Amino acid sequence: MVKRADPGAAAEARPVVPGAEGGRRGWVVAGSAVVAAGVLAFHRAVPNRPGRVGSLLESFLPWFGVVIVLLLGIALVRRSAVALVAVLLPVGAWVHLFGTLLLPAEEPGARELDVVQHNVSDENRDPAGTARTLIESGADLVALEELVPPALSAYEKGLAPTYPHHVVHGTVGLWSKYPLSGSGPVDIKPRSIDDGWSRGLRAVVHSPYGEVAAYVAHLPSIRIGAAGLASGPRDESAGVLGRAIASESIDTVILLGDLNGAAEDRGLAPLTSRLNVAERGFAFSFPRAVPVVRIDQVMARAAAVRHLDTLPATGSDHLPVVARVALE
């Protein structure tokens, strides 16, 4: 008599390979890690159309570090060697892009200026308190945006004892411990914005280390919506400002401003291609409650931005940014 095989019993007898499911999941983690590494290493290759997706990605590029930590944690839980090795790729790419920003600040040097950049907000209800916070930084230069009456007079009164020299054009201003000359507006208005919009200035700072051309700018705002990132006017304004700085006759230039974009954002390439950006410090400045991006920038030519940090919160929706600039 021939006995018929029991398929259920055969299934029960089939050997189970330890870690097989975890191995499959390990390959998923490994694939995700490779994609993350590719985005970090080749973010400039991400197309900007439609919706300026490339610029949007670059605005939050440092936060890929959180994604990498999550991938690493999953790889450790799954005990997948393949995943752990693959995660090293985005780790290397991230460190290459942002690793130096994590290093501690160097000791102050001989030829340096401390500068503060702050969008004080046109809805700031405590301009006097904001001025006190800026003074406590001990900075040599203070650049402010969204200066509107009657708050402007409060800033002028509050900052005057420490910063006897200042200039205001439109809604941007510069306060200095050192004499200023040659001040005037810088026209960075995009063609789509009506006349009367004035958010750029230039002044020569007569510092103890020589003349410095200081630019203060507030580029147009950007919007994130269903269609993506709307940054056309901001990008156009950055191009105009970049050309103005390129024609600057004084070698040393410091740009301070609310540029409405991260330094990695390709929309600011007309500026970042001509100026040095911060070497150390993330200094996320916006929004104040949960800062996720630094849109308040300090950049320089013939000088190095050694370190960036944020100051305590004021009545603005931005955090003030303080930088140490080493002159050549």
Which is it for strands 253-258 and 210-218: parallel, antiparallel or unpaired?
A: parallel
- Asked whether the beta carbons of 228 and 52 are under 8 A apart, the reply is yes
Burial class (CB in 10 A: 0-12, 13-18, 19+), 239: middle
pLDDT at 181 > cutoff 50: yes
pTM: 0.89
Q: Can you tell me the mean pLDDT for 218-223? A: 94
In which region does residue 230 sit, left (phi positive, over 0), alpha (psi from -120 to 50) or beta (all else)?
A: beta
pLDDT confidence of 19, banded at 50, 70, 90? Answer: very low
Spatial contact of 80 and 22, defined as CB atoms under 8 Å apart:
yes
CB atoms within 10 A of CB 211: 14
pLDDT at 218 over 90: yes
Q: Confidence class of residue 5 from pLDDT cuts 50, 70 and 90?
A: low
Pick the closest to residue 117 from 327, 324, 322, 326 (CA basis).
322
Of the pLDDT bands very low, low, confident and very high (cuts 50, 70, 90), residue 18 is very low
Q: 């040599």: which residue's tokens?
A: 140
Looking at the chain, the whole-number percentage of residues with pLDDT higher than 70 is: 92
* Predicted confidence (pLDDT) at residue 10 exceeds the cutoff of 80: no
pLDDT, residue 208, reads 97
What is d(CA 80, CA 30) in angstroms, rounded to the nearest whole number? 9
Q: For residue 104, with 0-12 CB atoms within 10 Å meaning exposed, 13-18 middle and 19 or more buried, which class applies?
A: exposed
> Is the predicted pLDDT of residue 23 greater than 60, yes or no?
no
Residue 214 has, within 13 A of its CA and on its CB side, a CA count of 36
Tell whether the model's pLDDT for residue 298 goes beyond 60.
yes
Q: How confident is the model at residue 320 (pLDDT cuts 50, 70, 90)?
A: very high
Q: Which CATH superfamily is domain 112-327 in?
A: Endonuclease/exonuclease/phosphatase (3.60.10.10)
88-123 per-position pLDDT tens digit? 999 999 999 999 999 998 888 889 999 999 999 999
**Mean pLDDT lowest for which of 3-12, 182-191, 299-308?**
3-12
State whether residue 211 is helix, strand or coil: strand
pLDDT band at 224 (very low <50, low <70, confident <90, very high): confident
Q: For the chain, give every domain's residue range.
A: 20-102, 112-327
